[in-house]
C-alpha cells in the first residue's frame, strides 16, 4: 500500500493529512482518488466506515485549490448531497479539517436550523456546499442560492437517499447545476434503482468497489439472542451492565420506540439519550456530541442515524429491533469497529422477527452465531399479507420504518406506509 503523498495531492492537503495523522489511504481511497483527480465520473461502492468521505473529499479539494478566483455571491463551485443532517455535518467537519489553512470555504445547509442564517452564509458564495436535498430546495425556491456554477456533484449514501424518497428532489436539483461537471456517486449497496440513477447522472463512470454488498467489517463480532419480545428490556440491561463505561449504540425500529426505550433506561439510572426524526437538530447535535465525548454512554437511535454517526469509540451496537430492510443491518453494525478498532454487534430476535433475521443472513451469506435461546417458528404478522419481513406483490423496496405503526389484531385495517420525512 502506498502513502497519501504518492497520490499527487496539493502540498496543503498533504500537510493537513499529516496533521490529522492519516498516512495510508484505505482501499476505496486508493482506488477512487487517482481516477477522480483525472476528472472521471466515479461510481463508488463500499461499506460504511471505509473512508468514503476522503475518497471524494481529497480530489474535490485538490480541484478547488487549482481553480482560481473566489465564488460569486449566492453561488457554489461544488455540491455534496447527503440524506441526513448528521451525515452532512460529519462530511463538512472532515472537509473543514482539510481546508483549515486554505482559502476554500465550506458551507452546510440542513433542515432544523435557521434558514435566515443559512441565507446569509450563502450570500457570500462558497466553494463547497454540503446539503440535505429538502433544505437546498427551500433555498433554491427563495432564490438564495444559484447552482449554475456547480462543476462537481457528489451524492453520498445515495442508496439511502433513494430509500428516503429524495429521488424527486434530485430531479429538481440536477437541471439547475452547471455543465460540464464531474459527478461522483457513493453508495453501500447497488439496488436496481441505483443503476438507473447512475445511468441518468454519470457519464462513462469508473466503477470502484472494494467490498461486496452486505459484507460487514472484518473486526465486528456478531451474535443473536432469541427471546420473547417482552424479555428484550431485561436482556438489554444485562448487556449494558457488563461494561458500564463502554459506548453502546442501540437501534430501535420506530421513533416512538426509541424514545420510550431511552426514557426507560434513564429511569433505571443509565446515562442515555436518543436521536430520531422527532428530535430537533439541536437536540440531535447535543446527543451525538455527548456520546462522542463519553458523557453519554448509551445512544438509542432509529435508522435515520445509521449512516450519520462516525464515532470510533463505539464498542457495541445492539439491534433491539431488527430492521425491515436487510441492508440496514449492515449499516447499523458498521457504526462499530471503525478506524481499525474491534467491535461487537448484538441482535435481539423475537418470533415476529425470524423472517427478518433470515433475510439478513441471506444477504450477508453468513449464519450469525447464537448467544442464547433457540430460533422459534416465524409468527405471521396480522398487519401484512404474509410473514413479517416478506414483501408483498410488486417487489417494491421498503423503507426502514416499514409499517410498524399499523394496528394489530383481528380486523385491523391495513394502512399504507407513509413516506418518511427527510431527515
For 130-153, write each residue's pLDDT tens digit: 999 999 999 999 999 999 999 999
Per-residue pLDDT tens digits for 28-84:
999 999 999 999 999 998 776 678 899 999 999 999 999 888 999 999 999 999 988
Tell me: pLDDT of 27 over 80: yes
Provide mean pLDDT across the span 392-411: 36
* 251 in Cβ contact with 317 (< 8 Å): yes
CA-CA distance, 146 to 408, in Å (whole number)? 49
Residue 383 confidence class, pLDDT cut points 50, 70, 90 = very low
* 121 in Cβ contact with 71 (< 8 Å): no
What's phi and psi for 376, nearest 5 deg? -80, 170
Provide mean pLDDT across the span 214-232: 85
Choice between 55 and 406, residue whose per-residue pLDDT is larger? 55
Tell me: pLDDT of 420 over 60: no
The pLDDT value recorded for residue 187 is 85
Nearest to 208 by CA among 310, 59, 66, 91: 59
Tell me: pLDDT of 341 over 80: no
Residue 381 confidence class, pLDDT cut points 50, 70, 90 = low
Per-residue pLDDT tens digits for 271-315:
999 998 788 778 888 998 899 899 999 999 998 655 667 787 899
Tell me the average pLDDT of the chain: 85
* 149 in Cβ contact with 178 (< 8 Å): yes
CA-CA distance, 89 to 126, in Å (whole number)? 16
Tell the CATH topology of 4-209.
Answer: Rossmann fold (3.40.50)
Provide mean pLDDT across the span 94-106: 94
Tell me: pLDDT of 338 over 80: no
Each domain of the chain, given as residue ranges in start order, spans 4-209, 220-372
C-alpha cell at 420: 418518511
* 252 in Cβ contact with 401 (< 8 Å): no
Choice between 378 and 332, residue whose per-residue pLDDT is larger? 332
Nearest to 303 by CA among 283, 327, 273, 282: 327
In the β-sheet with 298-301, what is the strand arrangement from edge to edge?
A: 272-275, 298-301, 247-251, 314-319, 343-349, 220-226, 370-372
Confirm whether 4-209 and 220-372 share one CATH topology: yes
Choice between 415 and 82, residue whose per-residue pLDDT is larger? 82
Nearest to 321 by CA among 250, 237, 420, 410: 250
Provide mean pLDDT across the span 258-262: 96
Residue 412 DSSP code = P
Residue 217 confidence class, pLDDT cut points 50, 70, 90 = low
The pLDDT value recorded for residue 5 is 84
Measure the CA dihedral 166/170/173/176, to 10°.
Answer: 180
The pLDDT value recorded for residue 278 is 84
The pLDDT value recorded for residue 240 is 96
Tell me: pLDDT of 317 over 80: yes
Instruction: Decide: helix, strand or coil at residue 368.
Output: coil
CA-CA distance, 71 to 75, in Å (whole number)? 6
Q: Which residue is listed with cell 482559502?
A: 103
Burial 99-123 (b: 16+ CB within 10 A, else e): beebebbbbbbbbbbeeeebbebbe
The pLDDT value recorded for residue 218 is 62
362 burial (CB, 10 Å; 0-12 / 13-18 / 19+) is: exposed
Choice between 196 and 360, residue whose per-residue pLDDT is larger? 360
Tell me: pLDDT of 410 over 90: no
Tell me: pLDDT of 387 over 50: no
The pLDDT value recorded for residue 213 is 56
Residue 216 confidence class, pLDDT cut points 50, 70, 90 = low
Per-residue pLDDT tens digits for 150-168:
999 999 988 778 766 788 8
The CATH class, in words, for 220-372 is alpha beta
* 92 in Cβ contact with 130 (< 8 Å): yes
Alpha-helical runs (H) found in 321-422 = 326-333, 354-364
Amino acid at each position: 500500500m502506498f502513502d497519501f503523498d504518492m497520490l499527487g495531492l496539493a502540498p496543503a492537503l498533504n500537510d493537513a493529512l499529516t496533521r490529522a495523522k492519516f498516512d495510508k489511504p484505505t482501499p476505496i481511497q486508493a482506488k477512487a482518488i487517482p481516477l477522480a483527480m483525472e476528472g472521471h465520473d466515479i461510481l463508488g461502492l463500499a461499506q460504511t466506515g471505509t473512508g468514503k468521505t476522503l475518497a471524494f473529499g481529497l480530489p474535490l479539494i485538490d480541484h478547488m485549490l487549482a481553480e482560481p478566483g473566489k465564488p460569486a455571491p449566492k453561488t457554489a463551485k461544488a455540491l455534496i448531497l447527503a440524506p441526513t443532517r448528521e451525515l452532512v455535518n460529519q462530511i463538512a467537519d472532515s472537509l473543514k479539517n482539510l481546508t483549515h489553512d486554505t482559502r476554500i470555504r465550506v458551507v452546510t445547509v440542513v433542515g432544523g436550523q435557521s434558514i435566515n442564517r443559512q441565507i446569509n452564509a450563502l450570500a457570500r458564495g462558497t466553494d463547497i456546499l454540503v446539503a440535505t436535498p429538502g433544505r437546498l430546495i427551500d433555498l433554491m425556491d427563495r432564490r438564495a442560492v444559484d447552482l449554475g456554477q456547480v462543476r462537481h456533484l457528489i451524492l453520498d449514501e445515495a442508496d439511502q437517499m433513494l430509500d428516503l424518497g429524495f429521488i424527486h428532489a434530485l430531479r429538481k436539483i440536477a437541471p439547475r447545476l452547471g455543465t460540464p461537471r464531474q459527478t461522483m456517486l457513493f453508495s453501500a449497496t447497488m439496488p436496481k434503482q441505483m443503476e438507473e440513477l447512475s445511468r441518468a447522472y454519470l457519464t462513462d463512470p469508473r466503477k470502484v468497489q472494494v467490498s461486496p454488498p452486505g459484507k460487514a467489517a472484518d473486526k465486528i463480532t456478531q451474535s443473536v439472542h432469541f427471546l420473547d419480545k417482552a424479555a428484550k428490556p431485561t436482556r438489554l440491561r444485562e448487556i449494558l451492565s457488563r461494561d458500564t463505561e463502554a459506548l453502546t449504540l442501540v437501534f430501535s425500529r420506530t421513533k416512538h420506540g426509541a424514545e420510550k426505550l431511552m426514557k426507560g433506561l434513564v429511569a433505571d439510572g443509565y446515562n442515555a439519550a436518543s436521536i430520531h426524526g422527532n428530535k430537533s437538530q439541536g437536540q440531535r447535535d447535543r446527543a451525538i456530541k455527548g456520546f462522542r465525548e463519553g458523557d453519554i454512554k448509551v445512544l438509542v437511535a432509529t435508522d435515520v442515524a445509521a449512516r450519520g454517526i462516525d464515532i470510533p469509540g463505539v464498542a457495541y451496537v445492539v439491534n433491539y429491533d431488527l430492521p425491515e430492510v436487510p441492508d440496514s443491518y449492515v449499516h447499523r453494525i458498521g457504526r462499530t469497529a471503525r478506524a481499525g478498532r474491534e467491535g461487537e454487534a448484538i441482535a435481539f430476535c423475537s418470533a415476529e422477527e425470524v423472517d427478518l433475521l433470515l433475510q439478513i443472513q441471506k444477504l450477508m451469506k453468513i449464519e450469525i452465531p447464537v448467544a442464547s435461546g433457540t430460533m422459534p417458528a416465524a409468527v405471521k404478522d396480522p398487519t401484512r399479507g404474509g410473514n413479517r419481513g416478506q414483501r408483498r406483490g410488486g417487489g417494491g423496496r421498503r423503507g426502514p420504518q416499514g409499517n410498524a405503526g399499523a394496528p394489530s389484531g383481528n380486523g385491523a385495517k391495513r394502512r399504507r406506509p407513509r413516506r418518511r420525512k427527510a431527515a
